[in-house]
């Protein structure tokens, strides 16, 4: 059986819609191993067309091309890939070495596609390269070699899988006469060692060396000369060892990564710039998230600063009668009835029981007692200062100047919380530093025990001037007893503190006159330990209608604003990620175009579509990882600089990194790169090998 037998081969090229070009007509040829065949003929006569058909790069033909009796036409795509990988070796006029790989890697690439062990690859390639006189060159890149050397590397690559047929399309076309002879000698010795070598040439001299000359003209064989008779020698092959049968003979994932890495390294500036571009979006994303959580952390730390770990506060988030109107933390909703208070206390006690916590809240309202409840309230009112003192004068709008807040002193405030003076009792109030500042007073001594205050809240029917009650110990306008040290979220709020008892007396006094009283807006409960506090707080914060302290409500209001704000910024960062994705897509498309020839070479040595896809996909994966890492490093650097700058400007830096922000950024970067790589990779995989090889 002939090694290669061509029967009635016809090749048509489809031109446009209906017209066809008849490139090869009724070719009948038969070749044996050991032959060195020259195919000669004018340019355009169909020589390359014939070679591409024999080599399985083009499988569109009529007739038969039988390789040891098997028609190429009957092979599946996979079998055809396998045929190119194992049975034929290509040598091209323009060498077609892969520029970013070393000589060694260029030769071993065919083995890499078969997932051959590293040591075995190197051993084989070194042997072949040594025989071709290239032992010294294996670490070089193709650009560092002369034309003759390059062609010898290409021959080594063609031989590495020990194929039966070597196809060389004008292998000496780009070489001077001296090197031409060298290459011919090599091809001749390959034929002598028992392979079928088919070579396309223009040169008569080149043809004269071969054992057989086939002349093609206009797609027809016009001459077939057998000059020296067949020589057949089966023994020593240049590539001595047969390819070991590996179970998995495809390009492995790691080899694909390695190949892509080499390619990316070859254009490292470009790839680094892409990674930098993508990383800018990642940095903005990470910083937005870190800024959002930093602000939230900061607000929460302010809210918690004054929360005593042994006290629980209960405030209302919404009113059951009017759930669409959420509470404003600055004028909280009152507990309208005692039943309402009982209900929430009973509920919390039930939760404590469920959690096997022994602690229970007593429903009895007593001041400052263990596990007892204390009421608190707060409200706003308007005030005016003149030569006669400080007036709250809500009823007389024209005199009003500003707003401040009345808070009842929480039970856990002690003298330790005072900047000056004492905790207030009956006939006394306390000012916050911010209120003092607002009133234009700055000397504590001028205020404490001296300034009297006329509280006038017509809403409550309350005017301290009128309230003198021997029985209750009320003496009229209260005096400022001290300055309270308010830190945390309310630090800059002008607040006047009064004791709940005192306020209650004032109002109940008015009550007897038939005026409106007030209801508590906060319940303070002393607990047995921090765990109970935490448990109750967590429970309260999970509720729709109740929450913990006013500070917590305030914090959650701010937090909500911040999260809306940072969501908006994150969306902008997201849009920039879309831009980054498109950028990667464009760059990868360009990379496919740039590497079209390389893809053709890979296909000619048996790379499957899958392998090509894998090489390009791993390139996009690497870009994703690189961008992610650059993004993480840059955001740490930028974040660090921002923290230092904000600390020196504001005294605090609301930036908190969470480890998972980096994971998210890396994940997003990998996902967008891999997604962006899908289209270019499948475009690369679909390229026609013959066209790719012709690509300029
Ligand atoms: P040679 O290698 O002998 O110079 P080719 O085999 O490259 O010639 O080309 C043979 C003929 O087929 C030429 O006329 C060429 O224009 C034509 N041809 C080659 N490839 C294509 C193609 N893809 N589509 C249409 N015509 C083609
Ligand atoms: Mg040609």
pLDDT in tens, 42-98: 999 999 999 999 999 999 999 999 998 899 999 998 899 999 998 999 999 999 999
More confident residue, 228 or 521: 521
* Cβ proximity of 539 and 351 under 8 Å: yes
Q: Does residue 143 register a pLDDT over 80?
A: yes
In terms of Cβ atoms closer than 10 Å to its own Cβ (0-12, 13-18, 19+), residue 204 is exposed
Quickly state the pLDDT bin for 369 (edges 50, 70, 90).
very low
Q: What is the pLDDT of residue 234?
A: 43
Distance CA 615, CA 618 (A): 5
User: Which one of 9, 10, 13 would you pick to mutate in the ligand 1 pocket, going by the greatest count of ligand atoms within 8 A of its CB?
Assistant: 13
Q: Within 10 A of 342 (CB to CB), how many other CB atoms are there?
A: 12
Q: What is the pLDDT of residue 321?
A: 82
Which ligand approaches the C-alpha of residue 53 most closely? Answer: 1
User: Which one of 11, 15, 23 would you pick to mutate in the ligand 1 pocket, going by the greatest count of ligand atoms within 8 A of its CB?
Assistant: 23
Question: How far is CA 33 from each of CA 54, 80, 211, 269, 594, rounded to the nearest angstrom?
Answer: 15, 20, 12, 48, 37
Distance CA 604, CA 90 (A): 7
Q: What is the pLDDT of residue 242?
A: 38
* Cβ proximity of 424 and 409 under 8 Å: yes
Distance CA 153, CA 376 (A): 90
Which residues on neighbouring strands pair with residue 452, listed in sequence order?
A: 479
pLDDT in tens, 549-560: 777 777 888 888
pLDDT in tens, 255-297: 889 888 988 888 889 899 999 999 999 999 999 889 888 888 8
Helix spans in 441-482 (H): 444-447
Q: What is the dihedral of CA 345, 351, 355, 358, to 10 degrees?
A: 20
Distance CA 553, CA 332 (A): 10
Distance CA 155, CA 159 (A): 6
Nearest to 457 by CA among 521, 505, 402, 391: 391
pLDDT over 70 for what percent of the chain?
A: 87
Cβ of residue 45 lying under 6 Å from some atom of ligand 1:
yes
Cβ of residue 46 lying under 6 Å from some atom of ligand 1:
yes
Q: What is the pLDDT of residue 391?
A: 62
* Cβ proximity of 187 and 181 under 8 Å: no
In terms of Cβ atoms closer than 10 Å to its own Cβ (0-12, 13-18, 19+), residue 630 is buried
More confident residue, 392 or 655: 655
* Cβ proximity of 464 and 478 under 8 Å: yes
Cβ of residue 42 lying under 6 Å from some atom of ligand 1:
no
Q: Does residue 518 register a pLDDT over 70?
A: no
Instruction: Please state the φ and ψ torsions of residue 334, each to the nearest 5 degrees.
Output: -80, 150
CA end-to-end distance (rounded Å), the chain: 40
Q: Does residue 373 register a pLDDT over 90?
A: no
Tokens representing 615 are 């090489």
Q: What is the pLDDT of residue 2?
A: 82
Overall size of the chain counted in residues: 696
Mean pLDDT of the 363-389 span: 55
Instruction: Please state the φ and ψ torsions of residue 488, each to the nearest 5 degrees.
Output: 80, -150
Residue nearest to atom 15 of ligand 1 (CA): 44
**Sign of the dihedral through C-alpha 665, 670, 673, 676:** negative
Which ligand approaches the C-alpha of residue 14 most closely? Answer: 1
Quickly state the pLDDT bin for 628 (edges 50, 70, 90).
very high
Whole-number Å distance, alpha carbon 180 to ligand 2 midpoint, is: 18
Whole-number Å distance, alpha carbon 48 to ligand 2 midpoint, is: 4
Distance CA 451, CA 454 (A): 10
Distance CA 399, CA 494 (A): 19
Tokens representing 234 are 């089966």
Residue nearest to atom 26 of ligand 1 (CA): 13
User: What is the overall mean pLDDT for the chain?
Assistant: 84
Cβ of residue 660 lying under 6 Å from some atom of ligand 1:
no
In DSSP notation, 342-381 reads HHHHHHHHHHHHHTT--------B-TT-TT-EEEE-EEEE
Quickly state the pLDDT bin for 563 (edges 50, 70, 90).
confident
Nearest to 199 by CA among 35, 50, 39, 5: 39
Which ligand approaches the C-alpha of residue 50 most closely? Answer: 1
Mean pLDDT of the 19-37 span: 93
Q: Does residue 367 register a pLDDT over 50?
A: no
pLDDT in tens, 591-605: 899 889 999 999 998
Mean pLDDT of the 535-559 span: 84
* Cβ proximity of 259 and 614 under 8 Å: no
Q: What is the pLDDT of residue 512?
A: 53
Distance CA 113, CA 259 (A): 11
Residue nearest to atom 14 of ligand 1 (CA): 44
Cβ of residue 60 lying under 6 Å from some atom of ligand 1:
no
pLDDT in tens, 385-412: 555 556 655 555 554 456 677 888 888 8
If DSSP codes are grouped into helix, strand and coil, which group holds residue 27? Answer: strand
Cβ of residue 49 lying under 6 Å from some atom of ligand 1:
yes
Distance CA 197, CA 37 (A): 6
Q: Does residue 230 register a pLDDT over 50?
A: no
List Cβ<8 Å contacts ≥24 apart for 526-530.
526/310, 526/311, 526/368, 526/369, 526/370, 526/371, 526/372, 526/411, 526/412, 527/310, 527/311, 527/312, 527/359, 527/371, 528/358, 528/359, 528/370, 528/371, 529/310, 530/309, 530/310
More confident residue, 650 or 608: 608
Cβ of residue 370 lying under 6 Å from some atom of ligand 1:
no
Which ligand approaches the C-alpha of residue 21 most closely? Answer: 1
pLDDT in tens, 144-154: 999 999 999 99
Mean pLDDT of the 1-25 span: 91
Instruction: Please state the φ and ψ torsions of residue 250, each to the nearest 5 degrees.
Output: -115, 165
Nearest atom, ligand 1, residue 219 CA? 10
Q: Within 10 A of 190 (CB to CB), how many other CB atoms are there?
A: 24
Distance CA 602, CA 109 (A): 8
In terms of Cβ atoms closer than 10 Å to its own Cβ (0-12, 13-18, 19+), residue 60 is exposed
Cβ of residue 19 lying under 6 Å from some atom of ligand 1:
no
Distance CA 661, CA 593 (A): 36
* Cβ proximity of 604 and 680 under 8 Å: no
Tokens representing 600 are 């053709």
Cβ of residue 13 lying under 6 Å from some atom of ligand 1:
yes
pLDDT over 90 for what percent of the chain?
A: 41
């Amino acid at each position: 059986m002939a090694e290669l037998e061509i029967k009635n081969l016809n090749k048509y090229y489809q031109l446009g819609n209906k017209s066809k070009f008849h490139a090869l007509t009724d070719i009948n040829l038969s070749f044996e191993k050991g032959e060195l065949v020259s195919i000669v003929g004018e340019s355009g006569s169909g020589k390359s067309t014939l070679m591409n058909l024999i080599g399985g790069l083009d499988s569109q033909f009529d007739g038969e091309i039988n390789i040891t009796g098997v028609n190429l036409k009957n092979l599946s795509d996979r079998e055809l890939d396998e045929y190119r990988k194992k049975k034929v070796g290509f040598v091209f006029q323009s060498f077609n070495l892969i520029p970013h790989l070393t000589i060694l890697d260029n030769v071993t690439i065919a083995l890499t596609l078969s997932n051959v062990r590293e040591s075995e690859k190197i051993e084989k390639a070194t042997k072949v390269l040594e025989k071709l006189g290239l032992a010294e060159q294996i670490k070089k890149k193709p650009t560092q070699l002369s034309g003759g050397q390059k062609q010898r590397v290409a021959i080594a690559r063609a031989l590495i899988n020990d194929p039966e047929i070597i196809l060389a399309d004008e292998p000496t076309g780009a070489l001077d006469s001296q090197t031409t002879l060298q290459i011919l000698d090599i091809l001749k010795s390959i034929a002598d060692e028992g392979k079928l070598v088919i070579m396309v040439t223009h040169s008569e001299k080149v043809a004269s060396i071969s054992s057989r000359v086939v002349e093609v003209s206009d797609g027809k064989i016009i001459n077939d000369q057998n000059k020296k008779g067949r020589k057949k020698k089966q023994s020593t092959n240049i590539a001595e060892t047969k390819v070991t049968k590996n179970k998995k003979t495809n390009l492995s994932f790691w080899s694909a990564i390695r190949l892509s890495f080499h390619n990316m390294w070859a254009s490292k500036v470009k790839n680094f710039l892409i990674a930098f571009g993508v990383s800018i979006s990642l940095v903005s994303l990470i910083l937005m998230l870190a800024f959002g959580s930093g602000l939230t952390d900061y607000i929460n730390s302010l809210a918690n600063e004054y929360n005593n770990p042994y006290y629980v506060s209960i405030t209302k988030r919404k009113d059951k009668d009017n759930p669409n109107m959420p509470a404003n933390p600055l004028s909280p909703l009152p507990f309208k009835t005692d039943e309402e208070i009982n209900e929430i206390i009973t509920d919390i006690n039930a939760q404590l029981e469920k959690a096997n916590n022994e602690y229970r809240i007593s429903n009895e309202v007593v001041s400052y007692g263990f596990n007892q409840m204390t009421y608190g309230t707060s409200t706003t009112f308007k005030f005016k200062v003149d030569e006669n003192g400080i007036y709250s004068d809500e009823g007389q709008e024209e005199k009003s100047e500003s707003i401040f807040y009345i808070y009842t002193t929480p039970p856990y405030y002690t003298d330790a919380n005072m900047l000056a003076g004492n905790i207030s009792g009956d006939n006394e109030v306390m000012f916050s530093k911010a209120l003092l500042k607002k009133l234009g007073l700055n000397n504590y001594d001028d205020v404490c025990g001296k300034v009297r205050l006329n509280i006038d809240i017509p809403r409550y029917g309350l005017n301290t001037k009128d309230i003198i009650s021997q029985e209750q110990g009320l003496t009229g306008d209260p005096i400022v007893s001290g300055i309270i040290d308010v830190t945390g979220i309310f630090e800059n709020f002008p607040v006047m503190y009064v004791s709940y008892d005192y306020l209650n007396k004032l109002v109940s006094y008015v009550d007897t006159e038939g005026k409106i009283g007030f209801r508590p807006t906060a319940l303070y409960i002393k607990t047995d330990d921090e765990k109970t506090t935490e448990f109750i707080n967590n429970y309260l914060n999970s509720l729709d209608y109740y929450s913990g302290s006013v500070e917590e409500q305030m914090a959650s209001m701010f937090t909500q604003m911040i999260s809306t704000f940072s969501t908006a910024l994150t969306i902008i960062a997201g849009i920039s990620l879309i831009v980054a994705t498109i950028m990667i897509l464009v760059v990868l498309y360009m990379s496919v175009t740039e590497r079209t020839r390389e893809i053709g070479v890979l296909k000619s040595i048996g790379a499957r579509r899958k392998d090509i896809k894998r090489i390009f996909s791993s390139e996009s994966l690497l870009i994703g990882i690189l961008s992610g890492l650059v993004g993480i490093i840059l955001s740490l650097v930028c974040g660090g600089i921002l923290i230092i700058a904000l600390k020196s400007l504001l005294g605090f830096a609301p930036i908190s990194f969470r480890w998972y922000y980096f994971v998210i950024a890396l994940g997003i970067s990998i996902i967008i790169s891999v997604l962006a790589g899908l289209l270019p990779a499948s475009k690369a995989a679909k390229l026609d090998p013959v066209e790719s090889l012709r690509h300029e």
